[in-house]
Amino acid sequence: MEEDHNTPRSGRYPARGDADFPAEHHTHDDEISLYDLWDVLMRRLPVLIGVALLVIVVGAVYAFSQPIEYTYRSQIELAQLPEYHNPASDAGGGNGEAVPVVPVDSVQRELEQVLIPEVRGRLAGDNDAMSRLQVSVSGTNPTVSLTSTAGPDASDSVTQLHQAIIEAFQAQQEAALESAVQTGARPFEERAELLGEQITELEAETERLAQASARGDGVRAMVFAQQLGDVRRELRQARLQRLDAQSMLETIWESAEPMDALGVARKSSSPVGPSRSLIIALSVVLAGMLGLFAAFFWEFVSNARRYRRTQSEQQLGSRPP
């Protein structure tokens, strides 16, 4: 039979009853009483109110220190030409829908990198407010928008800047539209010119054959008459073709749509960014949360200090004299 070494007879290990083992502690869940919480809040009410008021004051100061700014937007409709006459069209044909003579992405780069810095630098001079104004560009075919954010006192400066940018850009658009129209119209102009020369030659040939037919007789006169009929048919076709070419030229010039400013520095109806009332409302909510946290944290610190003081006193009292 195997010996139990845990018994007192073994001499190797003490019995559980003889050993000085720590007593078992049974933990119980602490119950949180609402009355205790209320008591803490009442004791630390000055802390709660003080922290809450501090947060509200800081929030109000921040809210009223923020400048009131509005959005000023100018919209520009780009110069356009029907797709089948437009050299900027990638389709090379198209269904006749009007498209910008300069692509929108190229317009945005030109405005952001060249025109806007140039115009702002020219207008700024010693005007610090003008030099601080920023203009962002966004585009959705076939319009481009200029957007600035500034206070109501800078409304005139924003309008002046946007107007100057639009005028400088309009000169570029007019030149681009004229170039595009001329490029699209050139084949029809050349065709109309060639047809005009052909018509002149056919008219001269018609006159010569008419005179020859009048002087001839018999078979000779019939030959001249037949040739005259053929030339007159060619002349009629050439004149119709020239009319078509001239009509296309008129269509191209009439279908050209110049740039149009749909609105200059239109002010938004409400300020941008969070309103002062919203900031103050959020400050009140945050003040309540931080006030409660400060009250309970203050109570915790007070209890912790009191506990340490009590422990120190007990240790001093338990020392032998």
Between CA 221 and CA 240 the distance in angstroms is 29
**The model's pTM:** 0.62
Contacts (Cβ under 8 Å, ≥6 apart) of 83: 89, 91, 93, 94, 95, 96, 97, 98, 99
Residue 179 covered by a domain: yes
Residue 135 binned pLDDT confidence (cut-offs 50, 70, 90) = confident
* pLDDT over 70 at 31, yes or no: no
What is the phi-psi region of residue 79: left when phi exceeds 0, alpha when psi lies from -120 to 50, beta otherwise?
beta
Mean per-residue pLDDT, 37-50: 87
pLDDT digits 0-9 by tens, 252-268: 888 888 999 888 889 88
Cα–Cα distance between 263 and 145 in angstroms, integer?
Answer: 10
> Among 92-106, 205-219, 300-314, which range has the highest average pLDDT?
300-314
pLDDT band at 206 (very low <50, low <70, confident <90, very high): confident
Give the residue, 161 or 35, on which the prediction is more confident: 161
Confirm whether 296 is domain-assigned: no
pLDDT, residue 26, reads 45
Which has the higher per-residue pLDDT, 106 or 124?
A: 106
Structure confidence at residue 92 (pLDDT): 47
- Which has the higher per-residue pLDDT, 256 or 25? 256
237 compared with 254, residue with greater pLDDT: 237
Query: Could you list the residue range(s) of the whole structural domain that residue 101 is in?
Result: 69-267
285 in any annotated domain: no
pLDDT higher than 70, residue 286: yes
Establish if 279 belongs to a structural domain. Answer: no
Summarize pLDDT for 302-313 with one digit per residue, the tens. Answer: 888 888 888 777
In a domain, 17, yes or no: no
Looking at residue 319, its pLDDT comes to 58
Number of domains in the chain: 1
In a domain, 60, yes or no: no
Quickly tell me which residue has 């809040």 as its tokens.
41
pLDDT band at 124 (very low <50, low <70, confident <90, very high): confident
The two three-digit tokens of residue 84, written as one number: 């089948």
DSSP state of 204: H
Q: How far lies 117's CA from each of 109, 110, 124, 154, in Å?
A: 12, 10, 10, 18
Dump pLDDT digits (tens) for 52-83. 999 999 999 988 888 888 999 999 999 988 87
Banded pLDDT at 318 (limits 50, 70, 90): low
In this prediction, residue 51 carries a pLDDT of: 92
Does some domain include residue 8?
no
SS3 content of the chain, % helix, strand, coil (to 5): 65, 10, 25
- Share above pLDDT 70 across residues of the chain, in percent, rounded to a whole number: 81
Question: CA-CA distance, 194 to 200, in Å (whole number)?
Answer: 10
Mean pLDDT is lowest, of 23-32, 56-65, 162-171, for 23-32
What pLDDT score was predicted for residue 150? Answer: 87
The answer to the question of residue 62 being in a domain is no
Which residue would you say has higher pLDDT here, 191 or 24? 191
